[in-house]
Structure formats: C-alpha cells, structure tokens
C-alpha cells in the first residue's frame, strides 16, 4: 500500500513541478536606499545602523541586495548626506530605481540612537565610565512601480534585558557603544525579513507516507533560497475557483535536511492526511516560510 501511495504522489509531484513555472523562483532584486535621520543622530552612527541592516538582509540569503551607493545614477555624495539631504521618495527617484532593476526598495529612518553613560566608582574613589546604546529604526519595503508600502516595521535594539542574555559589550566611548550594540540589530530584524521576503517553494514528491498520511516530502528549495534546517513553513493547497486562486493552509512542516541548492527534505508537523489528499487529487501544493 505504501509503495502504491508513493507512486501516486510521485505522479502528482511531476504535475506540480510542471505547473511551478507559473511562479518565478528567482530571488528578487532589492535596492536599499540611504537612511534618513534627525539632526540629533550623527551621520556616522546612522551609517553604522544601516550597515547592520544590510548585514541582516545579506545573511538571510533571501534576496539579491543592491546598495544604492554602488549605483552612480542614484548616488548622493557623502558630504551632502552629512548635511542632512534626504534620499527622498519622490516618484522620479523611484522610477530610476526601477530602471536599475530593483523589484523592491528598502527605505529607512534612524529615528534615534540613545547613548547612556554609566559611572562606576571603586574603593579609592576612581571613576570608570562605560556607555550603552539603544537603536530605534523604522524600515519600509516599497514597490518602486507605484510607491506603495509592502511591509513596515520599527526595530528597537536592544529591546530589553532579554536581548542582552549572552551578549556583552564593554564600551569606554560612545563610538564603541554604537559599534558594539549595532550587532544586535540583525537579530531584531528576523520577523521583518520573514514578513517582507517569504520563501515559497513547490512540493515535488512524497518521500515517506503511512496509508494516506504524508510524513516527509521534497521541496524545490535549498541553500540558494535561504532554506535552513529547522525552518518552519505553512503547507498551502492552491485551487482555482472561477478566475481566482485560493491558497488554503492545510498543514505545517519544517526543513529536516537541506540537500542542495534547490532541494530540501521537509518533515510534516501537522496536516499529513490533508497534504496526501491534495496531492492525490492533483492540486498544486506549495510551502511558505513562517519565519
């Protein structure tokens, strides 16, 4: 019975693979603009925050990240930006970004970088000064075609004492504090990245099933897409209803093993029977990252 079901699922997987061309698999080209800042935030500190944001986006491996600073037609010289010239969001600039191949744009504002001073006095009356820094950043993902906001979030790092568990910075100057605490920014961006740039893959075929209950299955996602072991996904059945497409969530799964640039083995956490029924019925099934 198990072999029969696997054969049926494999046939369904072939059909699904053939339909996968309806959805582009290539990574999006995402251009990150200069960040705005109030006059109270020094230019060099705003640049440190922006660099940490870029590091988080690069580490996610979900997009092709393009720094606006590398695009001559969009570049605003450093001396002008130091004077507080806004990168702007006018439609002319957005049109230029689209011409440079940007599918999406990331805009940011470094709202505040609060630096606090701590004084420790020893038994001899000698004082030692250390510094902490807290970042408050607003991020937006924008469609350059029409200027519409796709996703937005406010990032605070550190967000509380919980963020500092296992993290230590001993900063003897404000510059050291900004450099040290900026390393917390990537960790605070996970939800924003997951919401703005979900990973979507197609179910290829079933690897293991018991009766009608799917246990493991293969998906066309891997290292090249940012798939990682333990990553959680929703399982969705795609159906055409009239002229509309329904994407019904029928279960949950997680990456068990990443086996290549474009293939991974997934383990069903919930909805194995629903997945089996959808594949046997010839429906297209996709997985969408939850984190």
Residue 75 confidence (pLDDT) above 70: yes
Residue 206 confidence (pLDDT) above 90: yes
Confidence (pLDDT) at 26: 73
Q: Which CATH number fits domain 2-25+197-289: 1.10.260, 2.40.30, 3.40.1190, 2.40.50?
A: 2.40.30
Residue 65 confidence (pLDDT) above 50: yes
**60, 197 Cβ separation under 8 angstroms:** yes
195, HSE (Cβ side, Cα atoms, 13 Å): 12
Q: What is the pLDDT of residues 247-281, one digit of tens each?
A: 999 999 999 999 999 999 999 999 999 999 999 99
Residue 93 confidence (pLDDT) above 70: yes
**216, 265 Cβ separation under 8 angstroms:** yes
Indicate the pLDDT class of residue 83, thresholds 50, 70 and 90: confident
CA 8 – CA 21 distance, rounded (Å)? 22
Confidence (pLDDT) at 77: 63
Q: What is the pLDDT of residues 155-169, one digit of tens each?
A: 999 987 777 777 888
Confidence (pLDDT) at 17: 39
What are the sequence ranges of the domains in the chain?
Answer: 2-25+197-289, 29-196
Alpha-carbon Rg for the chain, nearest whole angstrom, is 24
β-strands 264-270, 244-258 pairing? antiparallel
Residue 18 confidence (pLDDT) above 90: no
Confidence (pLDDT) at 80: 67
**108, 35 Cβ separation under 8 angstroms:** yes
Burial, 118: exposed, middle or buried (Cβ in 10 Å; 0-12, 13-18, 19+)?
exposed
**pTM to 2 decimal places:** 0.80
Q: Can you point out the beta strands (E) in the chain?
A: 29-36, 64-67, 104-121, 127-142, 149-157, 200-210, 213-219, 232-241, 244-258, 264-270, 284-289
Residue whose tokens read 């279960």: 251
State what percent of residues in the chain have pLDDT above 70. Answer: 88
Q: What is the pLDDT of residues 97-128, one digit of tens each?
A: 888 888 999 999 999 999 999 998 888 888 89
Confidence (pLDDT) at 4: 41
Confidence (pLDDT) at 87: 64
Residue 35 confidence (pLDDT) above 90: yes
Indicate the pLDDT class of residue 84, thresholds 50, 70 and 90: low
State what percent of residues in the chain have pLDDT above 90. Answer: 64
CA 193 – CA 5 distance, rounded (Å)? 37
CATH fold of the domain at 29-196: Rossmann fold (3.40.50)
Once rounded to an integer, what is the mean pLDDT over residues 187-208? 94
Residue whose tokens read 């900063």: 171
Confidence (pLDDT) at 40: 95
């Amino acid at each position: 019975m198990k072999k029969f079901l696997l054969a049926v699922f494999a046939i369904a997987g072939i059909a699904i693979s053939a339909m996968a061309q309806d959805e582009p698999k290539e990574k999006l080209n995402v251009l990150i603009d200069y960040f705005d800042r109030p006059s109270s935030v020094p230019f060099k500190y705003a640049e440190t925050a922006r660099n940490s944001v870029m590091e988080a986006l690069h580490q996610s491996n979900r997009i092709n990240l393009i720094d606006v600073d590398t695009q001559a037609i969009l570049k605003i010289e450093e001396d002008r930006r130091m004077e507080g010239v806004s990168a702007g969001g006018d439609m002319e600039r957005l049109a230029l970004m689209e011409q440079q191949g940007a599918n999406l744009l990331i805009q940011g504002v470094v709202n505040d970088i609060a630096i606090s001073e701590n004084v420790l006095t020893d038994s001899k009356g000698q004082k030692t000064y250390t510094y902490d820094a807290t970042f408050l950043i607003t991020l937006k993902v924008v469609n350059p075609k029409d200027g519409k906001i796709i996703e937005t979030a406010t990032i605070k790092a550190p967000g509380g004492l919980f963020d500092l568990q296992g993290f230590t910075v001993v900063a003897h100057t404000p510059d050291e504090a900004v450099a040290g605490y900026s390393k917390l920014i990537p960790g605070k961006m996970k939800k924003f990245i997951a919401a703005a740039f979900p990973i979507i893959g197609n179910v290829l075929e079933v690897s293991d099933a018991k009766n009608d209950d799917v246990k493991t299955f293969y998906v066309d996602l891997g290292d090249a897409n940012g798939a990682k072991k333990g990553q959680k996904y929703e399982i969705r059945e795609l159906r055409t209803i009239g002229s509309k497409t329904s994407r019904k969530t029928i279960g949950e799964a997680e990456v068990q093993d990443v086996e290549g640039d474009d293939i991974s083995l997934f383990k069903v956490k919930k909805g194995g029977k629903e997945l089996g029924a959808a594949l046997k019925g010839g429906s297209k099934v996709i997985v969408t990252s939850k984190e």
